[in-house]
Amino acid sequence: MFDDKFANPLFLWLLLLLPAIGYYLWRRRAKMDVVLQFSSLQVFGKIPGTLRERMRYFPAGLRILAIALFIIALARPQSISDKQNISTEGIDIVLELDLSGSMLAEDFIPNRIEAAKQVASEFIDGRSNDRIGLVVFSAESFTQCPLTTDYPVLKSLLREVKNGMIADGTAIGLAIANGVNRLKDSKAKSKVMILLTDGVNNRGEIDPITAARIATTYNIRIYTVGVGARGEAPYPVQTMFGIRRQMIPVDLDEKVLTQVAEMTGGKYFRATDNQKLKAIYKEIDQLERTKIEVFAYKRYSELFGGWLFAGLAAFLLEMILSNTLLRKNP
């Protein structure tokens, strides 16, 4: 257990000999005591012990201390400072979220938009070294948050998005083009878009396939996620009697979304409920992991000098006291 603190830790076993050395010094000093015979010791009972008498074993203690300090110095105590260099290939990711009216459908809990926001927030929590941006779209598209590593700000802006911020519609092509504009000047080793939608491109000046071709020229990979139950989904409708649910058909252009993903080297996913959506983002999270290399360095500083000096000081003090104040006669 001492290997990281002492260069020669085996020398520390010599400390186990200190009790034997102490016993030897005590026996040696006891043999040197001079025995004088008196007819009665009562006269000496009232004589208080002197300081020299009380310190008669102090030199032996200093010698044991000096030996202990020399042993520790032989073990070469060291201080260690660690340093790490982390080398990583960064990823720039743009999350693209559909805010069209159909995203209020309640085949997800509580609805598609809120479910998508929750899963996207969890995805952000799982990243550490990547820049992430947020693009939202319906009839038009705009950047809600540029690429950033300030995840708390990004998540705050994500919480603010809602249906009605933009005119209704689904401009998938514009969303992709906007994402390309965010990523085209990126110096990251990997550039990724995650586009989530529940509809068919029906607005915007650029179609999804053309936008995907532009993305390929900038080496941007697009993962497309289509959300919606199979067949029909409950949708809240405002009536004079309050909000009621009616079933609406799920209209999702899986063919185009698959083509966009495959053109750019990404993958198309279909989410039919909250759990499936979480699993999709988890899979994308694993697909887009960078390899992090950690180089560890250790710097050793020798500390034996202080222990050696202390041992010499204790030894010299023992020699001085043994031959002056605590000298024993004969």
275-295 residue pLDDT tens: 999 999 999 999 887 655 555
166, 270: one domain: yes
C-alpha Rg value of the chain to the nearest Å: 40
Domain span including residue 33: 9-82+301-323
The pLDDT of 86-107, averaged and rounded, is: 88
Place 1 in a pLDDT band, splitting at 50, 70 and 90. very low
Q: Is residue 319 part of a domain?
A: yes
Per-residue pLDDT tens for 56-75?
667 777 788 888 888 888 88
Q: Is residue 175 part of a domain?
A: yes
- Per the model's pLDDT, the better-predicted residue between 154 and 298 turns out to be 154
| 262 vs 153: CA distance, rounded Å | 32
DSSP string of 233-248, one letter each residue: EEEEEEETTEEEEEEE
148, 225: one domain: yes
Strands (E), the chain: 78-88, 91-98, 131-137, 141-148, 190-197, 220-227, 232-239, 242-249, 268-271, 292-302
Q: Is residue 53 part of a domain?
A: yes
Look up the CATH number of the domain holding residue 264. Answer: 3.40.50.410
Per-residue pLDDT tens for 315-330?
888 788 777 776 665 5
pLDDT of 244 over the 80 cut: yes
Query: What pLDDT was estimated at residue 313?
Result: 87
36, 156: one domain: no
% pLDDT > 70, the chain: 81
98, 241: one domain: yes
Per-residue pLDDT tens for 8-62?
888 888 888 888 877 777 677 666 555 555 555 555 555 555 666 666 667 777 7
45, 180: one domain: no
71, 95: one domain: no
- Per the model's pLDDT, the better-predicted residue between 75 and 234 turns out to be 234
57, 104: one domain: no
- The domain total for the chain is 2
Q: Is residue 133 part of a domain?
A: yes
Q: Is residue 328 part of a domain?
A: no
Written as six digits, the tokens of 43 are 């006269």
Per-residue pLDDT tens for 129-176?
899 999 999 999 999 999 999 999 999 999 999 999 999 999 999 999
CB 230 within 8 A of CB 281: no
Query: What pLDDT was estimated at residue 93?
Result: 96
